[in-house]
Copies of this chain bind each other. A is one copy, B any other.
Amino acid sequence: MAVDREQVLRSAAALLTRKATATMDEVARAAGISRATLHRHFAGRDALVRALESLGIAECEAALEEARTDEGPAAEAVRRLVRAMEPSAALLAFLYTENQLFEGEEQNEGWARIDAAFTELFRRGQESGEFRIDLTPAWLTEALYGLLASGAWAVAEGRVARNDFTHMIAELLLGGALRREEP
């Protein structure tokens, strides 16, 4: 009887990732509930997107926690981080493009904390000598978001195998396309 708010958000995220302009009615159907019930739980489309944003922020923070990005070699930390974020990639892909629409409005402060943590990880890698210094931490953070989104879409459309997701993203971000010289 009682609607599972979490499950509604999950299916909404899955749908909106595929079709960002889906109507409230489509979101409701995707969640297997009526539009009226959807409105009872989320005051409107804005509230729904805000709730998805909160969910995304919470998952990112959980991933940061789980990956322990301040421990060990930065490269390994990045790999752990990508692996921890994989389940959230589709949601982040939606939020990443949705954020482009928030023209003037200030964005949720949660993102600032997450961006700071990402940036700090890349900065730490540069300081330790692991990472090159000609690519700014801000750009590496941006690229991580972009690659996660690209990866989520590529998987959704069958262009990349789901099992390769973590490897493709982490290794491209870390090592790039060029072949390494054998040591």
Contact across chains for B160 and A150 when beta carbons are under 8 A apart: no
Contact across chains for A150 and B143 when beta carbons are under 8 A apart: yes
Contact across chains for B154 and A139 when beta carbons are under 8 A apart: yes
In chain A, positions 101-150 with a C-beta closer than 8 Å to chain B are 101, 103, 122, 125, 129-132, 134-136, 138-140, 142-143, 145-147, 149-150
A174: interface (CB < 8 Å): yes
Contact across chains for B18 and A100 when beta carbons are under 8 A apart: yes
A172: interface (CB < 8 Å): yes
Contact across chains for A172 and B179 when beta carbons are under 8 A apart: no
Q: Kindly list chain B residues whose C-beta atoms are within 8 Å of the C-beta of A28.
A: none
Contact across chains for A132 and B175 when beta carbons are under 8 A apart: yes
Identical chains in the assembly:
2
Contact across chains for B177 and A135 when beta carbons are under 8 A apart: yes
Closest chain B residue to A148, Cβ basis: B146
Contact across chains for B179 and A177 when beta carbons are under 8 A apart: no
Query: How far apart are the CA atoms of A164 and B142 in the complex, in Å?
Result: 14
Binary contact track A151-183/B, C-beta < 8 Å → 1, others 0? 101100001100010011001111111111101
Query: How far apart are the CA atoms of A173 and B146 in the complex, in Å?
Result: 12
Q: Kindly list chain B residues whose C-beta atoms are within 8 Å of the C-beta of A37.
A: none
Q: Kindly list chain B residues whose C-beta atoms are within 8 Å of the C-beta of A171.
A: 134-135, 176
Residue among A130, A177, A183 with max Cβ neighbours from chain B (10 Å):
A177
Contact across chains for A103 and B19 when beta carbons are under 8 A apart: yes
Contact across chains for A125 and B177 when beta carbons are under 8 A apart: yes
Residues of A bordering B, CB below 8 Å: 18-21, 75, 78, 97, 100-101, 103, 122, 125, 129-132, 134-136, 138-140, 142-143, 145-147, 149-151, 153-154, 159-160, 164, 167-168, 171-181, 183
